[in-house]
Amino acid sequence: MSGPEEDVSGEAASFGRCNSSSGSSSSADAASASLPVAEDPCSFASPPFFSSLSSSSALMSSALSASLPPASGAASLEGFGTGGSVPASPSPHFWSRPNPSGTSPGPRAAHSCDVIGTKMFIFGGWNGKFALNDLFILDVQSLRWTRVEQDGCSPPEARNNHTTAAVGDRIFVHGGHDGTQWLADLHVLDTTPAHMGRHRGLSWSSPPVSGRRPSARACHSFTRVNEKLYMFGGYDGANCFQDIDILDLDTMAWIQPAVTGEKPQARNAHTMTVVDRKLVLFGGHSGNTHLTDLHVFDTATLTWTKPEISGSPPPGLRGHTANLIGHKIFLFGGYDGKRRTNEIYILDTKARAWVVVSNAACSAVCDNAPPSGRQRHSAALVSNRKLFVFGGFDGNKWLNDLHVLDASRFEEDALNDSAVRQLVENLRSLVNCPDFADVVLVVEGREIHAHKNILAANCAYFKQMFLGSMLESKQSKVVIPGWSYDAYIAMIEFLYTGKLNETRTDVVCEVMGLADHYTLFTLKSYSENVLTALVDTDTVCSLLKSAETYQARNLKRFCLDFVFRHADQIMNTPAFDELEAIPSLVMEIAKMSLVKSRKGGGGSGAGSDSGGVDNEQKRETSSSR
């Protein structure tokens, strides 16, 4: 058997391909027809599969940069804007895992998936042993699977990593790999009977076409814009492609257009997504490397451009999926040569910016966990708001699980996030603002204009001050002794906004003291986190004293451990000598040193670290004997 065993598939198309009837999305991912499970069916060099990126990620990335000026020569898309405000990434994910009735497809990857009306059509793929040509329909309203009996309707031969496009009630299928050879054939499935409740009347045909046909390949994309299907890229076992082939649906003629602009690098396993009349190309594999570039092909002018996009792009992915929802392209899953991912990357085509959404904390806030990391799955958009993710390969097994992402709730979440950010900024504008202020706090002779209701709502101390019998409750000016202005205004800003923007070590130490004095536990934790990052051999002793003074246990524990690990650099400094003024700290350091020396942890500095490594190595050597 040729090919797949020799890594010929290089990533055969349609891996996680899923088209809606509008032809809005196409994903190509070359899967090898018959590589062993331990190898990557999509790779040229069989690297290990992609373990999940998102399981150890934070829940969401920070908001991307606020704006992006138009770049010279950048693509101009209707709906693909010239830059602007970038929303923060949506926070929890909204996954569910339905349990459809009926006969579901067996485990597979590198299949095709097309949505027409309320029906989702799964065709072909690879199950780990051989290529498939079975056909299944999911009614997305009743959530019922039906296996279509194809006796007498001459279905195409089994294949995986083919590519498809939905046109009306028809599904066009091209190419792929059958386990032995690369394919160049074109087939059409008429799905009309399925929409009338009849599943036996579906028919396959091989339409006559004119013009020069594209060569055999897999991992390519086949994307519809009006009455034309645009084929790009792919792999034939030896080469990747970078040309555009067009199938004119009115004349059924193949056309090789003369295009302008800089062509993208040849590739396979990319995605191609329709935004108005433009095709947005992302990622894939060149035969040597995973690609992170993004290109736009204008089908009206037959011109390639490369727009500037702000934010951090996804890693070079292949075997991912891409679906247009509103003006945002949702990328899910894929493989970067090292690991699989189940993260969602969103390209905002108006703001021209990337936003990454992690699944890390989803299980804590959702009824259902997100899909596992995978590639060569399919992702189908239903009713312009729900993304149906089916199957794929997780590095160990072929899958047939079904997950649904409610994308409409991302918009709801983004709106909520935007409203919160606007509220915070509005409150920040009131910090030390005389307008509507009803109390003045005087710190180091400087006035801070404040609002009693905000202070009282966020601090029990101020509530007691203003509502109780304290003398300050009757005064319009309250003198605050014993604290610096900089630290106090930082605390006030936190009470208004929930943000601590101060980073100066001495000021943050004092803010921690204020938080302890006013029993503001969240602010105290924020301060400890900031100070922990500022610990070094010069600051550790003073921070340890502050931690002891203000009972900051987490910071104290961190500082004590740091002192022990770097004792040879710290113990002979004047700052360490000053710790003798706090006998309790000296006793704790002595106890820690005694306990760790008994455990064989070493005594100082780098020697302590290397000693720990040596001990670990000895244990490993001992256990292997």
Residue among 319, 321, 263 nearest 293 (CA): 263
Is residue 510 in some structural domain? yes
Which CATH number goes with the domain that contains 505?
A: 3.30.710.10
CB neighbourhood size of 416 (10 A): 12
Q: How far is CA 299 from CA 10, 38, 321, in A?
A: 28, 41, 22
Query: Average pLDDT for residues 523-527, to the nearest whole number?
Result: 92
Q: How far is CA 456 from CA 117, 439, 467, 512, 521, in A?
A: 56, 12, 9, 20, 16
Looking up residue 295, the CATH number of its domain turns out to be 2.120.10.80
Q: What percent of the chain has pLDDT over 90?
A: 57
| Residue after which a domain boundary falls, among 530, 552, 580 | 530
Residue type, 289: T
Decide the pairing of beta strands 203-205 and 221-225: unpaired
My answer on whether 408 and 445 are in the same domain is no
pLDDT at 84: 45
The number of folded domains in the chain is 3
* Amino acid (one-letter) located at 133: N
42, 139: one domain: yes
**Alpha-carbon span 513 to 139, nearest angstrom:** 62
Q: Show which of 392, 421, 450 is a domain's final residue.
A: 421
What's the pLDDT at 296? 98
Q: What is the pLDDT of residue 456?
A: 94
* DSSP secondary structure code for residue 218 in this structure: B
Give 416's pLDDT tier (boundaries 50, 70, 90): low
258 and 342 in one domain? yes
Domain of residue 89: give its range: 3-62+75-421
pLDDT of 302 strictly over 90: yes
Which residues is 448 bridged to in the sheet?
A: 441
The answer to the question of residue 70 being in a domain is no
The predicted pLDDT at position 368 comes to: 66
> 216-229, pLDDT tens digit by residue?
999 999 999 999 99
154-210 per-position pLDDT tens digit: 899 999 999 999 999 999 999 999 999 999 999 999 999 988 878 777 999 999 999
Quote the mean pLDDT of the chain: 80
CA 598 to chain centre: 46
Strand (E) or helix (H) holding 416:
helix 408-428
For the record, the structure tokens of 542 come out as: 């003073």
Is 213 found in the same domain as 338?
yes
Q: Are residues 82 and 227 in the same domain?
A: yes
What values do phi and psi take at 565, rounded to 5? -70, -25
Whether 410 contacts 377, CB under 8 Å: no
Least confident segment among 244-258, 415-429, 595-609 = 595-609
pLDDT value of position 359: 60
Q: Report yes or no: 296 and 74 within 8 Å, Cβ to Cβ.
A: no
Give the tens place of pLDDT for each residue, 24-83.
455 554 443 333 333 333 433 222 222 222 222 222 222 222 222 233 333 445 555 555
- The mean pLDDT of 452-465, rounded to a whole number, is 93
Q: From its phi and psi, is residue 386 left (phi > 0), alpha (psi between -120 and 50) or beta?
A: beta
Contact present, 387 and 330 (Cβ < 8 Å)? yes
CA 298-301-307 angle, 5° bins: 40
Q: Is the pLDDT of residue 3 over 80?
A: no
- Its pTM stands at 0.62
Adjacent-strand bridge partners of 122: 113, 136
Q: Average pLDDT in the 3-15 region?
A: 33
Judge contact between 494 and 500, C-beta under 8 A. Answer: yes
Q: How many CA atoms lie within 13 A of 439 on its CB side?
A: 21
Q: Is the pLDDT of residue 90 over 50?
A: no
Whether 91 has a pLDDT exceeding 60, the answer reads no
Q: In this model, does residue 606 exceed pLDDT 60?
A: no
Alpha-carbon dihedral sign for residues 615, 616, 621, 623 = positive
The single residue listed with the structure tokens 């100066």 is 504
pLDDT on residue 18 = 46
CA–CA distance from 141 to each of 98, 118, 129 (Å)? 12, 7, 32
Query: CA 23 → CA 110, 218, 259, 531, 580, distances in Å?
Result: 18, 19, 22, 53, 74
d(CA 229, CA 246): 6
The pLDDT assigned to 88 comes to 40
Least confident residue range of 93-102, 242-251, 412-421: 412-421
Do 374 and 464 belong to one domain?
no
Whether the per-residue pLDDT at 622 is higher than 60: the answer is no
Rounded CA gap, 153 and 132, in Å?
16
Question: Pick the residue with more confidence: 58 or 344?
Answer: 344
**pLDDT at residue 418, as a whole number:** 67
Q: Is residue 67 part of a domain?
A: no
What is the Cα–Cα distance from 481 to 460, expressed in whole angstroms? 19
Q: Pick the residue with more confidence: 457 or 40? A: 457
484 shares its domain with 605:
no
CA nearest neighbour of 392 among 374, 365, 417, 416: 374
Distance (Å, whole) CA 229 – CA 227: 7
245 lies in the same domain as 119: yes
CA–CA dist 107, 98 (Å, integer) = 16
CA gap 342, 55 in Å, rounded: 8
Q: Which of 530, 560, 581 is the last residue of a domain?
A: 530
What does the alpha-carbon distance between residue 530 and residue 500 come to, in Å, rounded to a whole number?
9
pLDDT at 585: 77
- Per the domain annotation, does 201 fall within a domain? yes
What are the DSSP E strand ranges found in 425-521?
439-443, 446-450, 477-480
Is residue 575's pLDDT more than 60? yes
Distance, CA of 342 to CA of 370 (rounded, Å):
8
User: Can you tell me the distance from the alpha carbon of 309 to that of 74, in angstroms, rounded to the nearest whole number?
Assistant: 9
- The answer to whether residue 607 sits within a structural domain is yes
Beta carbons within 10 angstroms of residue 219's beta carbon: 39
For residue 154, is it within any domain? Answer: yes
d(CA 257, CA 237): 25
Both 122 and 46 in one domain: the answer is yes
Return the beta strands (E) in 285-377 as ranges.
Answer: 294-298, 303-305, 321-325, 328-332, 344-348, 353-357
- Summarize pLDDT for 351-375 with one digit per residue, the tens: 899 987 766 544 444 556 789 999 9
Tell me the CA distances in angstroms from 395 to 203, 267, 290, 577, one per residue in order. Answer: 35, 22, 18, 57
Quick check: 287 pLDDT over 80? yes
Same domain, 290 and 370: yes
The answer for 519, left when phi > 0, alpha when psi is -120 to 50, beta otherwise, is left
Sign of CA dihedral 142, 411, 93, 279: positive
**Does any domain span residue 624?**
no
Distance from chain centroid for Cα 618: 41
Determine the Cα angle at 294 with ends 395 and 313, to 5°. 60
Q: State pLDDT tens for residues 577-601.
A: 887 778 877 777 777 666 665 655 4
Per-residue pLDDT band at 608 (split at 50, 70, 90): very low
pLDDT of residue 564: 80
Does 530 have pLDDT greater than 60? Answer: yes
Same domain membership, residue 481 and residue 348 = no
Q: And the tokens for 593?
A: 């040193």
Neighbours of 277 (CB within 10 A): 14
Q: Which tokens hold the place of 418?
A: 């935007």
Strand partners, 146: 137
Residue 595's CATH number: 1.25.40.420
Q: Judge whether 50 and 347 are in contact, CB under 8 Å.
A: no
The number of C-alpha atoms within 13 Å of 180 and in the hemisphere containing its C-beta is 3
Start-to-end CA span in the chain (Å): 44
Same structural domain for residues 287 and 350? Answer: yes
Please report whether residue 589 resides in a domain. Answer: yes
Measured between alpha carbons, how far is 27 from 112 in angstroms, rounded to an integer?
Answer: 10
